[in-house]
Each structure stands twice: as structure tokens, then as C-alpha cells.
């Protein structure tokens, strides 16, 4: 019963992920998504889009990776993709959170999930690379769906989006080309994404 008690403690704890707000709007442009919605969306995207991976991937492992990759934000908070100041402390904050949150589980499960989380962070395996493709593609798709609403609010420049997506092709060349042609460049043409350089 002790094992089951620990598992439910973790399950209750991760409900807090639903309270972690992100900067990306839902498709209606009215409210912003939370971390749990983001994870769910990418999990389904992976099931549907894994056929476009550069290499055949373990879909269940990749889905698991995406479902847990932002759990650390329960403690660390969401770091906006273009918040350069926040990124300076992000790794340290998230590592500390991983120790606590995965530590709630029975040792074998905690160790396994933390290893999958670390694999995502290291971004070296084919599953991690595809998971990163999803993590980059999903908010860009939503920004396109809302007429670049969050990009405009934050004054985001094209070079920031391209920098954020510089490794997106490593998971899927096909999806990166589609994202660039259908979600990014049309928003530059419409003025939702600023041209020019910014150091922010």
C-alpha cells in the first residue's frame, strides 16, 4: 500500500500543472493555454504526425516524454520562449523541481520518469528530437491560428522564432518545412511577426 500511496501523491501533485499558464493563446484567441493542455495537445500530435519523423521513433516513449516534460514547471514556473532573462536560471530551477516532483514516486518509477525527462532536456535521441519538434511546432501553430496574437503582444521578431526553431528540423524535416511555409512566413507577410533583428 505504501507504493500505491506514493503513486497517488504524485498523481495529485501533477494536477497543479493545470494551473501553470503559458503565453500561447488557444485557437479562439480569448484565453491562454495551460501546461497540461499543451502536453495533451502535443501527445496527440505525436500519435498523428510521427509518420513524418526523420527516423522511426518509439511513439509511446515520445508521448510519455511530452506528457511529463513540463511537470517541473509546477515548481519552476513557465519560462516564456523569448524571455532571455528567465532562461538564465531556467535549468537550475527545473532541475531542482525534477528532484522533488519525481522524488514523490516509488524509487523505480521516479528514476525512470526522471531519466525520460532528462533525455528530453539533452535532446540527443531520435525521440527527444521529435519531441522538441512538437514542442516548437505546437505554439507556432496556435500563434498562426490566432493571427499572431501572442507574438504581437510580446513584440516578437522573425529572427527570434527562427532561433527558437533552429533544431526543429532534427526531428522532422517535413514538419519544419511545413511550419515555415504555412505558419511562420505568412505571419511575417501579414505583419504579425516583426522583420529585422532583436537581441531580446
* 157-194 per-position pLDDT tens digit: 999 999 999 999 999 999 999 999 999 999 999 999 99
What pLDDT does residue 72 have? Answer: 96
SS (H, E, C) the chain: CHHHHHHHHHHHHHHHHHHCEEEEECCCCCCEEEHHHHHHHHHHHHHHHHHHCCCCCCHHHHHHHHHHCCCCHHHHCCCCCCCHHHHHHHHHHHHHHHHHHHCCCCHHHHHHHHHHHHHHHHCCCHHHHHHHHHHHHHHHHHHHHCCCHHHHHHCCEHHHHHHHCCCHHHCCHHHHHHHHHHHHHHHHHCCCCECCCCCC
What pLDDT does residue 187 have? Answer: 96
What pLDDT does residue 200 have? Answer: 44
Amino acid at each position: 500500500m505504501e507504493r500505491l500511496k506514493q503513486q497517488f501523491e504524485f498523481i495529485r501533485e501533477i494536477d497543479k500543472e493545470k494551473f501553470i499558464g503559458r503565453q500561447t493563446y488557444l485557437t479562439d484567441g480569448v484565453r491562454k493555454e495551460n501546461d497540461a493542455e499543451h502536453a495533451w495537445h502535443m501527445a496527440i500530435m505525436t500519435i498523428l504526425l510521427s509518420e513524418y519523423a526523420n527516423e522511426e521513433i518509439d511513439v509511446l516513449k515520445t508521448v510519455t516524454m511530452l506528457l511529463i516534460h513540463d511537470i517541473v514547471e509546477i515548481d519552476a514556473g513557465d519560462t516564456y520562449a523569448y524571455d532571455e532573462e528567465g532562461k538564465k536560471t531556467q535549468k537550475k530551477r527545473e532541475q531542482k523541481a525534477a528532484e522533488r516532483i519525481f522524488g514523490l514516486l516509488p524509487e523505480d518509477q521516479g528514476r525512470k520518469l526522471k531519466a525520460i525527462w532528462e533525455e528530453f532536456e539533452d535532446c540527443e535521441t531520435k525521440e527527444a528530437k521529435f519531441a522538441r519538434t512538437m514542442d516548437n511546432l505546437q505554439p507556432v501553430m496556435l500563434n498562426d491560428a490566432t493571427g499572431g496574437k501572442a507574438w504581437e503582444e510580446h513584440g516578437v521578431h522573425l529572427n527570434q522564432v527562427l532561433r527558437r526553431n533552429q533544431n526543429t528540423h532534427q526531428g522532422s524535416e517535413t514538419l519544419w518545412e511545413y511550419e515555415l511555409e504555412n505558419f511562420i512566413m505568412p505571419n511575417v507577410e501579414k505583419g504579425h511577426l516583426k522583420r529585422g533583428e532583436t537581441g531580446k
